[in-house]
Amino acid sequence: MKTTRNFARGSLAAIVISASSTFSYASPQDYEFQLVSAEVKQGPDAEVSVRLIDKRNGQPVSDAVIFTTRMDMAPEGMETMTTPLGELPSAEAGTYKFKTNLSMEGGWRFQLGAKVQGEGETVSGEVVVKATP
């Protein structure tokens, strides 16, 4: 009898733990944008892909809506040198693909803002792409 009661208590505790981890809200710091490739060939039809990762479990976040982007040459001291970006369809879940005009060789700073499903606050991040000849 004693064994049965302990077992019941143990499984109740397990349910409480899994429920709280499912419903606790993540903070925007739990997410990170990562470049799929650090170097991209310079040119008017350059394609840049970023992966959005949930750092708590290392998993890609596939249902994010990217709503702001900015690409500029801040890493080369040219913050005012910006270039347009357009989102492209992505074949891989958790990866977001963009077309842009990397008109100059060197470092380009890519800033992104995203809405993640179930996340109240905006997730933002930046990566530096190197445009190569």
| Contacting residues toward Cu ion, per CB under 5 A | 73, 78, 81, 104
CA distances to 21, 25, 34, 114 from 18, rounded to whole Å, are 5, 14, 29, 27
Is residue 45 within 8 Å of 23, Cβ to Cβ?
no
| Distance of closest approach, residue 13 Cβ to Cu ion, in angstroms | 58
Q: Which is nearer to Cu ion, 51 or 100 (CB)?
A: 100
Q: Which is nearer to Cu ion, 81 or 88 (CB)?
A: 81
For residues 73 and 38, what is the distance between their CA atoms, to the nearest angstrom? 15
Structure tokens at 29: 């710091």
| Distance of closest approach, residue 105 Cβ to Cu ion, in angstroms | 9
| Distance of closest approach, residue 111 Cβ to Cu ion, in angstroms | 16
For residues 120 and 9, what is the distance between their CA atoms, to the nearest angstrom? 34
Q: Which is nearer to Cu ion, 26 or 78 (CB)?
A: 78
Q: Which is nearer to Cu ion, 92 or 126 (CB)?
A: 126
| Distance of closest approach, residue 107 Cβ to Cu ion, in angstroms | 9
Instruction: Fill in the DSSP letter of residue 37.
Output: -
